């Protein structure tokens, strides 16, 4: 079982009409965040189907896929890694986590981060020191920053919010829209479980937030409450 075997299997599901649409959707033009990325047009469901067949793929072969210019191959590699992590022993989980962190710059689009960071980094760090997330939060690399905040999704689902708030403060003045959306999304997830905790944070920081971050964080609020935040009248 090799990376080439996975590539051949994945190519059977290629849809080049869809690929052309994805090239634009994921901002692959010159100077854009996904510059140079190549799409096959494979659906997520089909990528998952392929990944399930390759859970025994060694990390050395997964690494080859992560360094592919083809987005779908990196995506499928990460789905394999998530499945491997879920089935792994404690020792193997550490190996997978270390591998992910070492190659984090190849988790280099928002969907790749979102499908993998909570289920690998978040799960591994749930009851462990979280220093790597704070290191990533101040990284110059966009994807490491997104990993730092998206990993806290797992903590939120376990009713642990402090790291989400701390990282939100670090990223409050980040310039990239993808970070604004990610932070706002995590704050919204906190609010689904504890509106009191989310509002306590928002009341202190909502006037300092980028507009997109605020909009995402209050998206599920009652209309009247949402408008008050947007108008700065809370």
Q: Please write the tens of the pLDDT for every residue from 120-141.
A: 999 999 999 999 999 999 999 9
Mean pLDDT of 31-58: 92
Q: Give the pLDDT score at 35.
A: 83
Q: Give the pLDDT score at 81.
A: 98
- Do residues 32 and 111 share a domain? no
Residue 151 within a domain = yes
- Do residues 213 and 107 share a domain? yes
Residue 96 within a domain = no
- Do residues 222 and 168 share a domain? yes
Concatenated DSSP letters for the chain?
A: --HHHHHHHHHTT--HHHHHHHHHHTT-STTSTTTT-B-----HHHHHHHHHTTTT--HHHHHHHHT-SBHHHHHHHHHHHHHHHHH--HHHHHHHHHHHHHTGGGS-SHHHHHHHHIIIIIHHHTTS--HHHHHHHT-S-HHHHHHHHHTHHHHHHTT--HHHHHHHHHTTT-S-HHHHHHHHHHHHHHHHH-HHHHHHHHHHHTTTS-HHHHHHHTTTS-HHHHHHHHHT--
Q: Is the pTM of this model over 0.85?
A: yes
Residue 184 within a domain = yes
pLDDT at 28 over 90: no
- Do residues 198 and 121 share a domain? yes
- Do residues 2 and 83 share a domain? yes
Q: Give the pLDDT score at 30.
A: 84
- Do residues 46 and 110 share a domain? no
- Do residues 46 and 149 share a domain? no
Residue ending a domain, among 87, 117, 137, is: 87
Predicted confidence band of residue 24 (pLDDT cuts 50, 70, 90): confident
Residue 95 within a domain = no
- Do residues 43 and 130 share a domain? no
Q: Give the pLDDT score at 127.
A: 96
pLDDT at 12 over 90: yes
Range of 54's domain?
1-87
pLDDT at 20 over 90: no
pLDDT in tens, 81-97: 999 999 999 999 999 99
Residue ending a domain, among 23, 57, 87, is: 87
Q: Give the pLDDT score at 145.
A: 98
pLDDT in tens, 168-221: 999 999 999 999 999 999 999 999 999 999 999 999 999 999 999 999 999 999
Residue 180 within a domain = yes
- Do residues 69 and 148 share a domain? no
Residue 143 within a domain = yes
Q: What is the CATH number of the domain that holds 24?
A: 1.25.10.90
- Do residues 80 and 126 share a domain? no
Residue 201 within a domain = yes
Residue 130 within a domain = yes
- Do residues 78 and 38 share a domain? yes
Mean pLDDT of 219-228: 94
Q: Give the pLDDT score at 25.
A: 80
Residue ending a domain, among 57, 87, 117, is: 87
How many domains does the structure of the chain reveal? 2
- Do residues 163 and 75 share a domain? no
């Amino acid at each position: 079982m090799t990376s080439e075997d996975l590539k051949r299997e994945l190519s059977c599901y290629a849809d080049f009409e869809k690929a052309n649409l994805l090239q634009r959707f994921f901002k692959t033009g010159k100077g854009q965040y996904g510059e140079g990325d190549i799409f096959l047009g494979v659906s997520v469901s089909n990528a998952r189907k392929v990944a399930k067949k390759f859970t025994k793929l060694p990390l050395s072969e997964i690494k080859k896929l992560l360094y592919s210019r083809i987005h779908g191959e990196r995506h499928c590699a990460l789905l394999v890694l998530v499945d491997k992590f879920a089935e792994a022993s404690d020792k193997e989980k550490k190996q997978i986590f270390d591998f992910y962190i070492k190659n984090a710059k190849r988790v280099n689009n928002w969907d790749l981060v979102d499908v993998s960071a909570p289920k690998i980094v978040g799960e591994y760090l749930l009851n462990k020191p979280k220093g790597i997330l704070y290191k990533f939060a101040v990284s110059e690399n966009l994807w490491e920053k997104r990993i730092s905040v998206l990993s806290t999704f797992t903590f939120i689902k376990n009713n642990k919010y402090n790291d989400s708030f701390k990282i939100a403060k670090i990223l409050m003045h980040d310039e990239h829209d993808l970070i604004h959306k990610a932070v706002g999304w995590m704050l919204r997830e906190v609010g689904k479980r504890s509106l009191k905790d989310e509002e306590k944070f928002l009341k202190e920081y909502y006037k300092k937030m980028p507009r997109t971050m605020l909009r995402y964080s209050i998206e599920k609020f009652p209309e009247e409450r949402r408008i008050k935040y947007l108008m700065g009248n809370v």
